[in-house]
Chains A and B, each alone.
Chain A
Amino acid sequence: MKATKVEEKIFLTIMICSTVFVLSCLILILATVIWRGLPALNLSMLLQTPKGGFYLGKEGGILNAIMGSLFLAGGATALAMAISLPIALFLHFYAKRSWHGGVVRLALDVLWGIPSIVYGAFAFILMLWLGLRASLLGGIIALTFLELPIMTRGMDEAINMVHPLLKESSYSLGATRLETALKIVVRQAIPGLLTSSLLAFGRGIGDAASVLFTAGFTDHLPTSLFKPAASLPLAIFFQLSTPFPAVQNRAYASALILTGIVLGLSIMSRRIAGRLTEHVIR
Chain B
Amino acid sequence: MYDPHIRINKWNVWYGSDHALVNITADIPAKGITTIIGPSGCGKTTLLKSMNRLLDEMAGTRVKGQVWLDGINIYDPGVDVTEVRTRVGFLAPKPFPLPMSIYDNVAYGPRIHRHTLNSRGGNDHDLDGIVENNLRAAGLWEEVKDRLRTSATRLSTGQQQRLCLARALAVEPDVLLCDEPTSALDPIAAQKIEAQLQALKKERTIVVVTHMLRQARRMADYVILLWMGELVETGPAMQVFVNPRDERTRAYLDGDIG
Binding site for B on A (CB under 8 A): 96-97, 163, 165-176, 179, 183-184, 187-188, 278-282
Report yes or no: A173 in contact with B112, Cβ–Cβ below 8 A.
yes
Give 6 pairs: A residue, B residue, CB < 8 Å, sorted on A: A172-B89, A172-B90, A174-B85, A175-B109, A279-B101, A281-B96
Beta-carbon contacts of B45-72 to A below 8 Å, as 1s and 0s?
A: 0000000101001010000000000000
* Cα A171 to Cα B97 with chains together (Å): 13
* Cα A169 to Cα B93 with chains together (Å): 11
**Which chain A residue has the least Cβ–Cβ distance from B89?**
A172
In the complex, which residues of chain B have a beta carbon less than 8 angstroms from the beta carbon of A97? 59
* Cα A282 to Cα B108 with chains together (Å): 20
8 Å CB interface, B62-105 against A: 82-83, 85-86, 89-90, 92, 94, 96-101
> Which of A96, A171, A279 is close to B99, meaning CB atoms less than 8 Å apart?
A279
In the complex, which residues of chain A have a beta carbon less than 8 angstroms from the beta carbon of B151? 278-279
> Which of A173, A187, A188, A278 is close to B171, meaning CB atoms less than 8 Å apart?
A173
* Cα A166 to Cα B113 with chains together (Å): 19
In the complex, which residues of chain A have a beta carbon less than 8 angstroms from the beta carbon of B168? 172-173
In the complex, which residues of chain A have a beta carbon less than 8 angstroms from the beta carbon of B54? 168, 171-172
> Which of A96, A163, A174, A281 is close to B109, meaning CB atoms less than 8 Å apart?
A174
For residue B7, CB closer than 8 A to chain A, the reply is: no
- Min CB gap B18→A, angstroms: 18
For residue B206, CB closer than 8 A to chain A, the reply is: no
In the complex, which residues of chain A have a beta carbon less than 8 angstroms from the beta carbon of B131? none
- Min CB gap A245→B, angstroms: 55
* Cα A173 to Cα B89 with chains together (Å): 7
* Cα A217 to Cα B59 with chains together (Å): 52
- Min CB gap B47→A, angstroms: 15
Report yes or no: A169 in contact with B100, Cβ–Cβ below 8 A.
no
**Given contacts A174-B82, A174-B171, A183-B108, A166 and B96 within 8 Å (CB-CB):** yes
- Min CB gap A118→B, angstroms: 37
For residue B167, CB closer than 8 A to chain A, the reply is: yes
6 shortest interchain CB distances as A-B pairs: A174-B86, A172-B90, A173-B109, A174-B85, A279-B99, A188-B99
Known: A168-B90, A187-B100. 9 other contacts (CB 8 A): A166-B96, A169-B98, A172-B89, A172-B90, A172-B92, A175-B82, A179-B112, A188-B99, A280-B99
**Which chain B residue has the least Cβ–Cβ distance from A174?**
B86
> Which of A174, A184, A278, A282 is close to B98, meaning CB atoms less than 8 Å apart?
A184
In the complex, which residues of chain B have a beta carbon less than 8 angstroms from the beta carbon of A176? 82
In the complex, which residues of chain B have a beta carbon less than 8 angstroms from the beta carbon of A281? 96-97, 99, 153
- Min CB gap A95→B, angstroms: 13
In the complex, which residues of chain B have a beta carbon less than 8 angstroms from the beta carbon of A282? 153
In the complex, which residues of chain B have a beta carbon less than 8 angstroms from the beta carbon of A188? 99
**Given contacts A171-B85, A172-B89, A183-B108, A165 and B99 within 8 Å (CB-CB):** no
* Cα A166 to Cα B100 with chains together (Å): 12
